[in-house]
Amino acid sequence: MLNQVIKTAEEAGQKILEFYETDVEVITKEDDSPLTKADLAAHHIIVNALKEIDPETPVISEESGIPDYEERRSWESFWLVDPLDGTKEFIKKNGEFTVNIALIKGDKPVLGVVYVPAFDVMYYGDETIGSYKREGDNKAVKLETETFQRSEPARIVVSRSHGDDSTQKKLSELGIEVSEEVPSGSSIKFCLVAEGKADLYPRLGPTMEWDTAAADAVYRYSGKNGEKYSPLSYNKETFKNPYFLLGMDEFVDVK
């Protein structure tokens, strides 16, 4: 099934690139976030494919809305999709946007695929085989990294679209010294921590479950010594994530 999901992400990514080469027409959604034809085209490709791959399992996509909690609270598993994460990066044409597909069981992702179509980079994580990164036609490389130790200075991932000075200040209050900021867009930020190019991803702003699920799986299963701790959980009554600090082996309150 993983290979089928990877293929689906690639197909959606190639469709997105068709729009990427043209003038991007932007619609503003009710929450003021941007929406393009590329988001919708990728959404339809992924949802239709998942219904064929796994017809018994419900699918939630950012572009399809969230079923009532009373309906989904009893679900054992469901697919969680962000067809185009980083729409702002897509509009800016900097390449840092992703296709995200995750399988949630209980309250955690057990499989996640993150595809970066502009660079033809594929990340995927699975609870049974671990996490991998594949660049172009090269062989996939296993990701095996350790969690951050508070005694060391930290390289932190910061958002290209949402960055500000408050993050470093908050980490300093928590006793964490920042040695470097690594700017990135979309769910790639999780993947940079998973592969060891950054130590921490502090998020002091709003995200939704579909923004994080696939990349969270890549992070969780990139552990050198087993599954890594993640502060995030899924299928909550509200789909909003709390503020979080990813990369530690314990919960750290960053409110």
Does the domain formed by 154-246 have CATH 3.40.190.80? yes
Q: What are the pLDDT digits (tens) for 120-178?
A: 999 999 999 999 999 999 999 999 999 998 888 999 999 876 556 788 889 999 999 99
**Residue-wise pLDDT tens digits, 94-122:** 899 999 999 999 999 999 999 999 999 99
**Domain boundary assignment for the chain:** 2-143, 154-246
From the list 43, 242, 8, 209, the residue with the least C-alpha distance to 114 is 8
Tell me which of 30-34, 181-185, 231-235 is least confident.
30-34
Residue 17: the pLDDT is: 93
CATH number at 2-143: 3.30.540.10
Averaged over 224-235, what is the pLDDT?
A: 96
For residue 12, the SS3 value is: helix
| Model-wide pTM > 0.85 | yes
DSSP string, 142-199: EE-BPPPPTTS-EEEEEETTT--THHHHHHHHTT--EEEEEEE-TTHHHHHHHTTS-S
